[in-house]
Amino acid sequence: MTPSHSLTYVINFRDRSNCSRIQNAQPGEEIVVLVHPEQEPLADPLAAKGMRSQDGALFVVEITTADGAPQSFEWEYPLLKLVAQLFQPLR
């Protein structure tokens, strides 16, 4: 297990509502995005701030880790939307 002070977080694609929020994010819109530690995919999800860029091309996720350190990562939005669609459970 990775020490807690060096956890890297990733988007939780297991949550249907999380995938839906990501797919429906409008340019310039800030939404809640659920994330989990990269090495612990079954850990309880944490809320992070997700924002689609004004031009709609990028999606940036920002989280403050348990030790208070800020962490951010970005996706190209068209790719993120596709991944969210692929991982969204079938209805």
**pLDDT confidence of 68, banded at 50, 70, 90?**
confident
Tens of pLDDT along 41-51? 899 999 999 99
Where do the H-state alpha helices sit in the chain?
16-24, 77-87
- Region of 56 on the Ramachandran plot (φ > 0 left; ψ -120 to 50 alpha; else beta): left
DSSP assignment, residue 39? T
The SS3 call for residue 14 is: coil
Decide if pLDDT at 35 tops 60.
Answer: yes
DSSP assignment, residue 6? G
Query: How many separate domains does the chain show?
Result: 1
pTM equals 0.84
Higher pLDDT, 60 or 65: 60
Residue 48: which of 65, 60, 36, 35 has the closest Cα? 35
Name the residue range of residue 37's domain: 4-87
